[in-house]
Amino acid sequence: MMLFTYEKKRIFGAGKSSAIDTVKRVLEHYGKTVVCTREPGGTPMAESIRECVKHDWQEEVTIEAELLLMYAARSQLLANVIKPNLAKGNWVIGDRHDLSSQAYQGGGRGVSQQKMTILRDLALNGFSPDFTLYLDVEPQEGLKRAKGRGELDRIELAGIDFFERTRDRYLQLAANNQSIVTINTMQHIDKVHDDIRQSLATFMGA
């Protein structure tokens, strides 16, 4: 079983790490063997690609280059970590997956849906998570939280308009997909975790 928790990257400060910990503990309570992954990254090659994506290069990083790097890392993670663990019967929790690219590169960067679909189909060959928690936070608040944690990377410095477009696409995609549950992270952290636990209990049929 493949489950993903999402935040709109680190700039949004939606509490992804604590959310993943909550998901992990709930699944282990149900007796599941859980493996956690991250994107971009999760394999030696994908971690190197992650550094390429995050680095503030002294040249223009084209939208196409950024998009291709994200899918290259995702393809490596899927083939070398996710699918082998699913084949063993393990449950996989990821901090991001294709939804992130659909929102960041599709919504934020303005890549056409046709191009996004072609690349998704090529890299993932129809694979998708069974359940997604989208951790939503208003961009201005998320930016404030992220700045409090340290220096921002290249994507995090893209500007508030970029993140507004990204959030709009996330919300649009979540509204049109029943496997995605939106969690309001502007609430107190205890309420956020309660909502996560309740969403998982519903998904598990409890």
Looking up residue 183, the CATH number of its domain turns out to be 3.40.50.300
Continuous H helices in 40-188: 44-54, 63-77, 83-87, 98-101, 113-124, 139-147, 160-175
Distance CA 50, CA 37 (A): 13
Which residue segment(s) compose the domain that 183 sits in?
Answer: 2-204
Q: How confident is the model at residue 113 (pLDDT cuts 50, 70, 90)?
A: very high
**Closest to 119 in 3D by CA, of 46, 66, 53, 42:** 66
Residue 26 sits at φ, ψ, to 5 deg, of -65, -45
Q: In this predicted model, what pLDDT tens digit does every residue of 16-68 receive, in sequence order?
A: 888 999 999 999 999 999 999 999 999 999 999 999 999 989 999 999 999 99
Q: Exposed, middle or buried: residue 150 (CB in 10 Å: 0-12, 13-18, 19+)?
A: exposed
pLDDT for the residue numbered 4 = 58
Distance CA 6, CA 94 (A): 8
Reduce the DSSP state of residue 64 to 3 states and report it: helix
Q: 111 versus 7: which is more confidently predicted?
A: 111
Domains contained in the chain, number: 1
**CA 35 centroid distance within chain:** 16
Reduce the DSSP state of residue 183 to 3 states and report it: strand
Q: What is the pTM of this model?
A: 0.90
Residue 147 above 80 pLDDT? no
Residue 73 above 90 pLDDT? yes
pLDDT for the residue numbered 206 = 61
Task: Find the range with the poorest average confidence among 1-15, 140-154, 189-203.
Answer: 1-15
Distance CA 198, CA 125 (A): 31
